Amino acid sequence: MKTLLALLLVAPLGLGCVRVPQHRADAMRAEPIEPLGEDRLSLHWKFVTSDRLLEVEPQEFAAATVYSDTLFVGSANGWFHALRASNGAVRWRKQVGSVSSAPLVLGTTLYVGTNDGVLVSLDAQTGVEKWRYQSRGPIQQPPTATGNMIVFSNEADQVIAVDSITGKFKWQYKGETPEEYTLRGHAGVMADGELIYTGFSNGTLAAIRRDTGSIAWSTSLKADADRFMDVDATPLTLGDTLYASSSSGGVYALDKATGLVKWRVPFWDATIPSTSGNVGGIASDGKILYVSVADLGTFAIDLGGNVIWRVGARGGGEPAVPVVFGDLLVYSLAKDGMFLADRRTGATLEYFDPGDGVSAPPTITSDGRLYVMSNRGILYAFDLD
């Protein structure tokens, strides 16, 4: 049975710690089999962004962005909040529409994507709207700034560039969307030099020219699949190599200039009939790739394509993008909660479940403050000890 840390939710601020009692579990499940011996999380404050106590299996996907002493975060109920990062006090709030991703902060300007397909530009100090751009699909990944443009993708397989000051349309690239069902979500955009990299629901990874929106190259990552081959994880670059993944093909390393595949690590588990899984995202510490895949687990893969370790996630729910912080790897599973693991071994050090799981990725600042949204719409601020 899933652990409910009710004690944490009623504990005084600053006194909360998270520890999992001993219980039996499948070895490939995310929940630890043995009791954990570390206290890495100390609750600092919490803030209710929306009241979802009466909903059945709610989900919140929005992550926070921290700039100076202000935390910016949206929610599924449409309210966007600017909070004092040190104590959670409200600086301003505004109704912008349902949000499922982190905002982009550039100086005094915010860029927020909504599930209605709107990219909104707000004054970071006051919340006053500067402009908005309407696209045709939910924006569920953060936008990216490059040159004088804001570039974003949406679930309609569109990549759109607009002027960062005025919101004026610059260009659009449209990927081919399969007629059959696709997985929930979409890849974000990765800007590197003159190219912008992203993936599409037909299993294609593409490099798009920043200045024109024309295609530089595209490569199929779907392997032998004819459905559920989505490239939903935002790719990342290290040196001259681009790393990406698809739900059907696994993890790929490609030459970022040409799109030629260097190696591939397929997802596979003999105990699970399907070898595909929804990929939450890819993170790296510069030497190791960390990839979370629904039901199949979280993988650590070196830059040569060798799997170093894998920890289970069976039954844990849809994963979010993992986050590397020092010697920690922090990742969320929609049903089971948030996990703090030793990034060198994958061993779980601590586990936080507010009662209904965590679908959102955590945000960790350089001074060791961790912020994460629960599926009930409660934003938690922890100190990492």
Residue 355, pLDDT score: 87
The Cα-based distances of 109 to 84, 103, 106, 231, 305 in angstroms read 17, 10, 5, 30, 39
Spatial strand order of the sheet with 288-293 comes to 279-284, 288-293, 295-302, 307-313
Residue 8, pLDDT score: 38
Residue 304, pLDDT score: 97
Specify the residue for token string 């300007």: 109
At residue 148, the 3 state secondary structure works out as coil
Residue 182, pLDDT score: 64
Strand partners, 284: 289
Residue 134, pLDDT score: 98
Residue 315, pLDDT score: 87
Q: Rounded to an integer, what distance in angstroms lies between the CA atom of residue 61 and that of residue 99? A: 8
Strand partners, 217: 207
Q: Rounded to an integer, what distance in angstroms lies between the CA atom of residue 325 and that of residue 362? A: 11
Residue 312, pLDDT score: 84
The Cα-based distances of 234 to 64, 170, 185, 322, 355 in angstroms read 17, 22, 11, 12, 29
Spatial strand order of the sheet with 348-352 comes to 323-325, 328-333, 337-342, 348-352
Residue 36, pLDDT score: 64
Please give the backbone phi and psi of residue 9, each rounded to the nearest 5 degrees, phi first: -70, -20
Domain annotation for the chain: domains and CATH numbers: 61-174 (2.40.128.630)
Residue 381 gets the label, from left (phi > 0), alpha (psi -120 to 50) or beta, of beta
pLDDT of the chain along its 385 residues, tens only? 333 333 333 333 333 344 443 333 566 677 665 666 578 899 999 999 988 888 899 999 999 999 999 999 999 999 999 999 999 999 999 999 999 999 999 999 999 999 999 999 999 999 999 999 999 999 999 999 999 999 999 999 999 999 999 999 999 999 988 766 566 789 999 999 999 999 999 999 999 999 999 999 999 999 877 677 889 899 999 999 999 999 888 999 999 999 999 999 998 765 555 545 678 899 999 999 999 998 889 999 999 999 999 998 888 999 999 999 999 999 999 999 999 999 999 999 999 999 899 999 999 999 999 999 999 999 999 999 7
Q: Rounded to an integer, what distance in angstroms lies between the CA atom of residue 195 and that of residue 181? A: 29
Torsion, Cα of 135, 136, 139, 144 (10° steps): -40
Global pTM reads 0.90
Closest CA to 337 of 372, 383, 296, 298: 372
Structure-block tokens of residue 5: 């840390």
Residue 28, pLDDT score: 67
